[in-house]
Amino acid sequence: MATQDPPASCKVVLAGSIAKNLQHEVSEGLLKLERKPSLVGFLANKDPAAQLYSSWTQKTCQENGFEFTLQEVDREELENHILTANQDNAVDGIIVYYPIFNSRQDQYLQQLIDVRKDVEGLCHTHVFNMYSNIRWLDEQKLQKSILPCTPLALVKILEHLKVYNTILPYGNRLFGRTILVVNRSEVVGRPLAALLANDGACVYSVDVTGVQKFTRGEGIKKKRHEVVNKEGWTLEDCVPLCDVVISGVPGNAFHFPTALLKDGVICINFSTEKNFGPEVKERASIYVPAIGKVTIIVLLRNLLRIVQNRQSSSTTGNGEVD
């Protein structure tokens, strides 16, 4: 009698399958609006990743009933274009495809966008709320704060993979999870570590400068996360401790040391390059090789929330996305 091969130990989960659930949520919310939400995008560079992101945005907007206008502008004129869009009542949301100057001037541009139109959640109000673990814009808790698209996309992926424990109270559902984030950029890595720690996880954040530990303290008793430098620590110290490994190192020089992974770990790659080699499937129980399609749907979800927030400022907030 022939013996059957055992089932593959690693399940590869594609971003498209995760995005479908969010897409349904967005479609349901869209039906409750009187008109299509309008998004304007500003492209002021020749960066291939930014150009690809803008084309994905346009395609996804068209497929899901959102209006999208892409404006290719000179970076020296971008400030004026943002200010004009802020005042345009026909524009519901604004997205800028970074990098523009690759300097602190990019942060200045982020602060120019009206908080009521910031679909990326990068202006001061949203960033402050994110790091402070403040989830609402108003005392009545009708208007939710906007979170950055890529970190939020990774949170939604972890929810889809049941890493979040829904038995626990909202805000504590990562308690008991140990997560590694390899990337500490101000756009993705650091915000992601903060979000996960604020939800109760123990997060090791790694970049070229070293390792930091993000937690809400012993027993997650603190309201917001705290950060501790782990002097002398490297990937060798923290990888074996982690249930989930999320890597997003740009460029093709970095290759994650998969030999350090513990059996059954969940691995997620959010870099445009493959940080994990094919051998990751020998250790991981679940592997998500890319997240782009989820990020784009989260962008539309943020735009929908912005429109709903504006409506809830004068109504009871019906149709809000949770």
Q: Where is 292: in which H helix or E strand?
A: helix 292-312
For 31, which DSSP code? T
Q: Are 288 and 10 in contact (CB under 8 A)?
A: no
Encoded amino acid at 110, one letter: Q
Structure tokens, 203: 């997060």
**Per the structure block, which two tokens stand in for 48?**
């291939």
Which residues participate in catalysis according to the annotation? 149
- The per-residue DSSP string of 196-245 comes to HHHTT-EEEEEETTEEEEEES-GGG-SSS-EEEE-TT--HHHHGGG-SEE
Here the tokens at position 68 are: 């999208």
Could you give the C-alpha distances from 238 to 40, 165, 204, 215, 270, in angstroms and in order?
A: 42, 22, 7, 14, 19
* In contact, 185 and 246? CB cutoff 8 Å: no
Q: Which two tokens stand for residue 135?
A: 């989830």
| Cα three-residue angle 106-111-112, rounded to 5 degrees | 95
Q: Which two tokens stand for residue 254?
A: 């970095």
Other beta carbons within 10 Å of 246: 28
Q: What number of other Cβ atoms are within 10 A of residue 313's Cβ?
A: 14
Write the DSSP symbol of residue 279: G
Give dist(CA 263, CA 284) in Å, integer: 6
Contact between residue 251 and residue 230 where contact means Cβ atoms under 8 Å apart: no
